[in-house]
Amino acid sequence: MRFALLVMLAATICAFPEPSAAKEVFRKRSLYRDILVYESGGQRCMKFGIHDAGRQSCISLSNPERLVFDYTRMLLGALYINPNPRRILVIGLGGGSVPGALQALLPAATIDCVEIDPAVAEVAAAFFSFQPARNTKLHFQDGRVFVKRAAQKQSKYDLIILDAFDHMYVPEHLLTKEFLGEVRTLLSADGVLAANTFSSSRLYDSESATYSSVFGRFFNLKSDNRVILATKGSLPTRESLGRNADAIEAQFRRLGTGRDSLLSMFSPDVKWPAGTRILTDQYSPANLLNGGRY
């Protein structure tokens, strides 16, 4: 199997430009990347690469519990499909916003969080107040390697979140049909996959076709980013989504989201041109197709 990127640069990324005026708080060159922490506009943010505009994670300095980015709120929309996952896998740590929110919402859940760069976890703890809960375990390794080994152990998860980015985009070996097939084997019967991607990308159609080839129909949530929500079986009805949303509305409100904003984003109607090429381990030119996105 050919991997054009052998190393997973695991973190979250949001498609917002960096504020022009920022106070640098911390800078470090890790084994894998430059990590910069800065403050601007009442937020503290992490980004990879000194000159790149993308921000991997941000918190509000006045209300750290409130989720800043739309994509983090959309990822948690997976709980409208399965509101009580017992075992959770998160690939990509960043500042810890997503696993931190899951720890608060689901204190009894067991969470495996995969991050290749130990320096990212150190920064998340020092500057973004992320601390693994008793039931949370950090794994410092490549996301695909973890998935393969988990499949060999026949592990099952009720919720899997794919949130792995480098400073540009999702590493291409985490975009392919083969990888998504491996992820699918880890889902329990009522498990949910939530994947963070871009809402505007030259890869958009190929990503859609690739996810469909593995999961069939999926929910497409779009804002500044695009979140794909997929299951092993048929998608739930609007009535089911609404009941689950009502049950956790009070908890979601504390995070700065809720059914009024999230439910309207759930769309199963995703279209792409006939003949769109599926991304595979032999064909996954992510850097070429995604170039010039901005």
Chain segment 130-182, per-residue pLDDT in tens: 999 999 999 999 999 999 999 999 999 999 999 998 767 888 999 999 999 99
The pLDDT tens digits of the residues spanning 9-24 come to 333 444 444 445 789 9
Catalytic-residue membership of 163: yes
CA 257 – CA 278 distance, rounded (Å): 34
Total domain count, the chain:
1
For residue 91, give the 3-state DSSP assignment.
Answer: strand
Which runs of consecutive H residues, i.e. helices, occur in 199-275? 204-215, 238-247, 249-254, 259-262
Q: Which domain holds residue 112?
A: 70-289
Q: For the domain that residue 279 is a member of, what is the CATH number?
A: 3.40.50.150
Residue 13 forms part of a structural domain: no
List, for the chain, all residue ranges whose pLDDT scores fall below the cut of 50: 1-19, 291-294
Residue 259 forms part of a structural domain: yes
pTM for this entry:
0.90
For residue 8, give the 3-state DSSP assignment.
Answer: coil
Q: What is the pLDDT of residue 51?
A: 58
Residue 206 forms part of a structural domain: yes
Catalytic residue, from 163, 246, 260, 281: name it.
Answer: 163
Q: What angle do CA 104, 108, 114 make, to 5 degrees?
A: 70
CA 251 – CA 100 distance, rounded (Å): 13
